[in-house]
Amino acid sequence: MYILEDKEYFEEEFGIDIPLVIPKKALEEAYLSDIDITVKEGVYNFVNEQQQIFFDKKNVTSYGYVIVDIEVQ
Protein backbone atom coordinates (compact mmCIF):
# COMPACT_ATOMS: atom_id res chain seq x y z
CA MET A 1 0.00 0.00 0.00
CA TYR A 2 1.41 3.36 -1.04
CA ILE A 3 0.79 6.54 0.96
CA LEU A 4 -0.18 9.31 -1.46
CA GLU A 5 -0.45 12.17 1.05
CA ASP A 6 2.50 13.97 2.63
CA LYS A 7 2.04 13.82 6.39
CA GLU A 8 4.41 15.41 8.89
CA TYR A 9 4.18 12.37 11.13
CA PHE A 10 3.42 8.74 10.40
CA GLU A 11 3.77 5.85 12.83
CA GLU A 12 6.65 3.45 12.13
CA GLU A 13 4.26 0.63 12.98
CA PHE A 14 0.52 0.52 12.75
CA GLY A 15 -2.04 -2.15 13.34
CA ILE A 16 -5.10 -3.28 11.48
CA ASP A 17 -7.54 -4.64 14.07
CA ILE A 18 -10.03 -6.28 11.72
CA PRO A 19 -9.68 -7.39 8.09
CA LEU A 20 -9.88 -4.40 5.73
CA VAL A 21 -11.79 -4.99 2.50
CA ILE A 22 -10.56 -2.85 -0.42
CA PRO A 23 -13.57 -1.03 -1.94
CA LYS A 24 -14.69 -2.24 -5.39
CA LYS A 25 -14.30 1.27 -6.84
CA ALA A 26 -10.62 1.35 -5.83
CA LEU A 27 -10.08 -2.06 -7.41
CA GLU A 28 -11.80 -0.96 -10.61
CA GLU A 29 -9.57 2.13 -10.79
CA ALA A 30 -6.54 -0.18 -10.46
CA TYR A 31 -7.94 -2.42 -13.23
CA LEU A 32 -8.54 -5.26 -10.73
CA SER A 33 -12.32 -5.44 -10.91
CA ASP A 34 -12.41 -9.24 -11.30
CA ILE A 35 -11.09 -10.00 -7.81
CA ASP A 36 -11.74 -9.19 -4.16
CA ILE A 37 -8.84 -8.13 -1.95
CA THR A 38 -8.83 -8.06 1.85
CA VAL A 39 -5.91 -6.73 3.94
CA LYS A 40 -5.44 -9.14 6.83
CA GLU A 41 -5.29 -7.90 10.41
CA GLY A 42 -1.85 -7.52 11.94
CA VAL A 43 0.96 -5.10 12.75
CA TYR A 44 2.76 -3.64 9.76
CA ASN A 45 5.86 -1.48 9.29
CA PHE A 46 5.78 1.85 7.45
CA VAL A 47 8.69 2.47 5.06
CA ASN A 48 9.40 6.21 4.92
CA GLU A 49 10.64 6.49 1.34
CA GLN A 50 9.50 9.08 -1.20
CA GLN A 51 9.27 7.78 -4.78
CA GLN A 52 7.37 8.13 -8.03
CA ILE A 53 4.80 5.42 -8.85
CA PHE A 54 2.51 4.93 -11.84
CA PHE A 55 -1.12 5.18 -10.67
CA ASP A 56 -4.34 6.02 -12.49
CA LYS A 57 -2.48 6.35 -15.83
CA LYS A 58 0.00 8.93 -14.50
CA ASN A 59 3.09 9.28 -12.30
CA VAL A 60 2.35 10.37 -8.74
CA THR A 61 4.48 10.85 -5.63
CA SER A 62 4.31 8.23 -2.90
CA TYR A 63 5.46 9.43 0.52
CA GLY A 64 6.06 5.94 1.84
CA TYR A 65 4.62 2.47 1.70
CA VAL A 66 3.55 -0.51 3.77
CA ILE A 67 3.90 -4.14 2.74
CA VAL A 68 0.73 -5.86 3.92
CA ASP A 69 -0.58 -9.40 4.05
CA ILE A 70 -3.58 -9.78 1.73
CA GLU A 71 -6.19 -12.35 0.83
CA VAL A 72 -7.29 -12.52 -2.82
CA GLN A 73 -10.57 -14.15 -3.83
pLDDT of 10 over the 80 cut: no
- Confidence (pLDDT) at 30: 78
Whole-angstrom Cα distance, residue 27 to residue 32? Answer: 5
pLDDT of 9 over the 80 cut: no
pLDDT confidence bin for 26, thresholds 50/70/90? confident
CA-nearest of 72, 73, 68 to 1 is 68
Amino acid of residue 13: E
3-state SS assignment for residue 56: coil
- Output phi, psi for 29, to 5 deg: -65, -25
Average pLDDT (29-56) is 89
Amino acid of residue 44: Y
Q: What mean pLDDT value characterizes the chain?
A: 88
